[in-house]
């Protein structure tokens, strides 16, 4: 199991990469609208600011910033498998 290191400071900005289990597919770009809707729905319950986001066929890179009053709980919920 990976040892994720996350800052526990209010308003933290984090960079992360998410990779599909099945590399070599184009699922993320084929279904980018579904991905966008899922992120929008998540932001309603767990606010965060999207500083940067690159969606590639089988992985994505993102830089997100949490609200100043949030110092890790939501980030953990957003980034863990299964989400909210």
CATH assignment at residue 56: 3.30.70.1290
Looking at the structure of the chain, the number of domains it has is 1
* pLDDT for position 84: 47
Global pTM reads 0.72
16 near 5, Cβ under 8 Å? Answer: no
Look at residue 6 and tell me if it is in a domain: no
Instruction: Assess if residue 44 is contained within a domain.
Output: yes
Domain containing 69 equals 13-79
Between CA 47 and CA 57 the distance in angstroms is: 26
- Determine how many CB atoms are found less than 10 A away from the CB of residue 75: 21
Per-residue pLDDT of the chain (84 residues; tens, 9 = 90+): 567 666 677 788 889 999 999 899 999 999 999 999 999 999 998 889 999 999 999 999 999 998 887 655 555 555 665 554
- Name residue, tokens 């800052």: 7
Q: Is residue 1, in this structure, part of any structural domain at all?
A: no
DSSP string computed for 32-46:
HHHHHHHHHHHHHHS
């Amino acid at each position: 199991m990976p040892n994720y290191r996350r800052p526990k400071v209010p308003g933290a900005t984090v960079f992360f990469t998410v990779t599909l289990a099945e590399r070599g597919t184009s699922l993320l770009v084929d279904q980018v609208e579904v991905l966008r809707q899922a992120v929008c729905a998540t932001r309603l319950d767990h606010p965060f600011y999207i500083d940067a986001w690159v969606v590639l066929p089988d992985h994505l890179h993102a830089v997100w910033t949490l609200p100043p009053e949030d110092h890790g709980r939501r980030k953990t919920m957003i980034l863990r498998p299964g989400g909210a």
